[in-house]
Homo-oligomer: A and B are copies of this chain.
């Protein structure tokens, strides 16, 4: 039976008969607390897919984005209560839910003394003042809770100097200016968003003596070139001229005062003077309207303040019936810069609908998953993934030992063209299985999978043409799970047709124009893309929590390793050979991994044909679950806070291979053989080889040491 067809039917029924009847239609009555089935129950999956309701998601979003809910604000705390109320609901709640609070260092503009950007004439007279707020175009940009646009964690200060346009504020941009003989000392650098991280612009600028940094959003990057008020929101999805992207300018993630420790009141806090990762000079974001008007001397007055604030995570749990010590984690952050309808409430609206549907089945006694499902609403993500990072610091070992996978749905809908998934290779197969069975929104009768492959695809040596998954950076709360704990992770969203827009991200990102109406009118009218994301995430969660054998295909890592190896051979082989460094051990290690992963897959296939006992399956599942952990080495990149994954740590080198190797080669390229830089290349190569050999060893039959 094809999911697409079943769902087509289900949706028709929904339109005609309403939700109550659908519940009756899909639910398969079972006695309360009945033992979980041995394997994924397709009837339950069908029920869940049918009950995920676009209208309810829309209502969730309306409520979530009704008011600005900056991290730790009263409205953010109200939403904590909303989540608790939903997750404790007698009819559709979870087994348990609680909020846990951390005391973290956030940064805010001063209310008394707003940040100011002025153009100053030769005699000190103010020629032009930049807007301090965005234009109140829908009545939602003017309230007292709309935080002034600012660069979180930028230091206070009132520098004044000549304006220099520094493109994206990358290191090469400042070098180029120097080459052109432009004096940077004491200037104000005007940079545009994109290219490098927010904080990096100030770090790079300060190295050249720049006194202050402005960051604006260029219409070419975000609005497909359009910039006039009648072409922008509320008349289109494009950013109005007054729109300013807020954001955290902190270089790392987690609470800045408690690296590697949970930000509970008793934890040691680094002295403020010793905190690293803040922008070194005053920095302020502005809109393109103001950017266009800037001339001459510019004076930037930044009055940001650091504050210790309480920020909560909310956790809701469905207890596993058979393996309660195996956790399928599904989360999103709750805090926004302003109303945050797109970022992050579109994700939370989906989260709430999914927890309602599963909670209802649970409360009726229809279903209980084999493994535990944990719903998480993270706090203070916008300031640097703080809530999720503190959570991983507090429960490091427990989460590392027991978590099957982490699923992140932050912005669930950027646009309604196609699914987009970022994740590590083992999650590819479960996402494919899920999306092949769900109807894509929009015209036609395609599955989400078939629609997806039209937008993002690659030619796999194993499978032929398949949708391509992106790799996980550090753009949302999955970062601590994959980089710090080594848990297989994914991020799911609906997104753009890139032939229709070149916007760097949806135009009102981190501005006061990111509101319910913006989503409702321009991004996902009808909320069918939200529903598609809810169904995709729901199916993935059910498959991960209910399948007897974990649907994590570890052999899909072989393609990644092989491509990293090929890049190393092609683009670094000659260079390494010149320095007497052999890739032979890496070749052997990759081959060993491929062979062991493939053999494990065959053992599982064979077992699946018989009736394996639960302990046998548990042992195999542990091999699958823990494979990702074997790629962690907390001593591999001591200078990169939290990053321990030897395959997905940040890569700055140009060659698309193992990041440690790529980066070390890039640094060593112009130095002599025998230098410390080449020793570091060899060390990084050994770290990768040891990790791959160790990974292969964990895939072997468990009694072969």
Tell me the A residues contacting B by CB distance below 8 Å.
95-96, 258, 260-262, 264, 266-268, 270-271, 315, 317, 319-320, 322-325, 327, 372, 374, 393-398, 401-402, 582, 584-585, 588, 613-615, 618-619, 622-623, 626, 629-630, 632, 634-635, 638, 679, 682-683, 685-687, 689-690, 693-695, 697-698, 701-705
A268 and B96 alpha carbons, distance in the complex (Å): 50
A383 and B585 alpha carbons, distance in the complex (Å): 27
Question: Is A266 a contact of B401 with CB atoms below 8 Å?
Answer: no
Q: What is the distance, in angstroms, from A646's C-beta to the closest C-beta of chain B?
A: 12
Question: Is A615 a contact of B267 with CB atoms below 8 Å?
Answer: no
* Given known contacts A397-B698, A635-B260, A698-B398, A325 and B690 CB-to-CB distance under 8 angstroms: no
Question: Is A705 a contact of B397 with CB atoms below 8 Å?
Answer: no
Q: What is the distance, in angstroms, from A673's C-beta to the closest C-beta of chain B?
A: 12
Q: What is the distance, in angstroms, from A257's C-beta to the closest C-beta of chain B?
A: 11
Question: Is A694 a contact of B397 with CB atoms below 8 Å?
Answer: yes
Contacts of A613 in B (CB 8 A): 614
Contacts of A697 in B (CB 8 A): 394-395, 398
With beta carbons under 8 angstroms apart, the residue of B397, B693, B702 that contacts A626 is B397
A324 and B700 alpha carbons, distance in the complex (Å): 12
A372 and B704 alpha carbons, distance in the complex (Å): 10
A95, A262, A268, A623 — which one has the most chain B CB atoms within 10 A of its CB?
A: A268
Q: What is the distance, in angstroms, from A703's C-beta to the closest C-beta of chain B?
A: 4
Question: Is B268 a contact of A683 with CB atoms below 8 Å?
Answer: yes
With beta carbons under 8 angstroms apart, the residue of B96, B327, B396, B694 that contacts A398 is B694
A59 and B585 alpha carbons, distance in the complex (Å): 43
Q: What is the distance, in angstroms, from A388's C-beta to the closest C-beta of chain B?
A: 14
Question: Is A689 a contact of B266 with CB atoms below 8 Å?
Answer: yes
Question: Is B397 a contact of A693 with CB atoms below 8 Å?
Answer: no
A348 and B102 alpha carbons, distance in the complex (Å): 53
* Given known contacts A268-B683, A615-B615, A694 and B323 CB-to-CB distance under 8 angstroms: no
Contacts of A679 in B (CB 8 A): 268, 270-271
A588 and B266 alpha carbons, distance in the complex (Å): 11
Contacts of A695 in B (CB 8 A): 397
Question: Is A315 a contact of B705 with CB atoms below 8 Å?
Answer: yes
Question: Is B396 a contact of A694 with CB atoms below 8 Å?
Answer: yes
* Given known contacts A261-B690, A395-B694, A374 and B682 CB-to-CB distance under 8 angstroms: no
Contacts of A397 in B (CB 8 A): 626, 629-630, 632, 694-695, 698
A360 and B320 alpha carbons, distance in the complex (Å): 43
Contacts of A96 in B (CB 8 A): 704
Question: Is A682 a contact of B268 with CB atoms below 8 Å?
Answer: yes
A614 and B695 alpha carbons, distance in the complex (Å): 27
With beta carbons under 8 angstroms apart, the residue of B267, B402, B702 that contacts A325 is B702
Contacts of A614 in B (CB 8 A): 613-615
A255 and B685 alpha carbons, distance in the complex (Å): 18
Q: What is the distance, in angstroms, from A634's C-beta to the closest C-beta of chain B?
A: 4
Tell me the nearest residue of chain B to A696, going by C-beta: B398
Tell me the nearest residue of chain B to A588, going by C-beta: B266
Contacts of A588 in B (CB 8 A): 266
Tell me the nearest residue of chain B to A700, going by C-beta: B398
Q: Identify 13 new A-B residue pairs, CB closer than 8 A, beyond the known A266-B584, A325-B619, A398-B630.
A: A95-B703, A261-B683, A266-B582, A266-B588, A267-B690, A268-B682, A323-B619, A324-B619, A374-B705, A395-B697, A395-B705, A401-B698, A615-B618
Question: Is A702 a contact of B402 with CB atoms below 8 Å?
Answer: yes
Q: What is the distance, in angstroms, from A609's C-beta to the closest C-beta of chain B?
A: 21
A358 and B705 alpha carbons, distance in the complex (Å): 19
Question: Is A622 a contact of B267 with CB atoms below 8 Å?
Answer: no
A701 and B402 alpha carbons, distance in the complex (Å): 13
A268 and B683 alpha carbons, distance in the complex (Å): 5
A262, A619, A693 — which one has the most chain B CB atoms within 10 A of its CB?
A: A619
Contacts of A698 in B (CB 8 A): 397-398, 401
Question: Is A317 a contact of B703 with CB atoms below 8 Å?
Answer: yes
Q: Which 5 A-B pairs have the closest CB atoms?
A: A266-B585, A325-B702, A324-B703, A268-B686, A268-B682
Question: Is A320 a contact of B261 with CB atoms below 8 Å?
Answer: no
A687 and B398 alpha carbons, distance in the complex (Å): 16
A253 and B701 alpha carbons, distance in the complex (Å): 30
Contacts of A271 in B (CB 8 A): 679
Contacts of A690 in B (CB 8 A): 261-262, 267, 393-394
Question: Is A705 a contact of B325 with CB atoms below 8 Å?
Answer: no
With beta carbons under 8 angstroms apart, the residue of B322, B582, B622 that contacts A401 is B622
A-B contact pairs, 29 of them (CB 8 A): A95-B703, A260-B635, A266-B585, A266-B686, A267-B689, A270-B679, A271-B679, A315-B705, A317-B703, A317-B705, A319-B703, A320-B703, A322-B615, A324-B703, A325-B619, A325-B622, A325-B623, A372-B703, A394-B694, A395-B694, A395-B697, A396-B694, A397-B632, A397-B698, A401-B698, A615-B615, A615-B618, A634-B635, A638-B638
Q: What is the distance, in angstroms, from A193's C-beta to the closest C-beta of chain B?
A: 34
Contacts of A268 in B (CB 8 A): 679, 682-683, 685-686
Contacts of A327 in B (CB 8 A): 705
Contacts of A705 in B (CB 8 A): 315, 317, 327, 372, 374, 395, 398
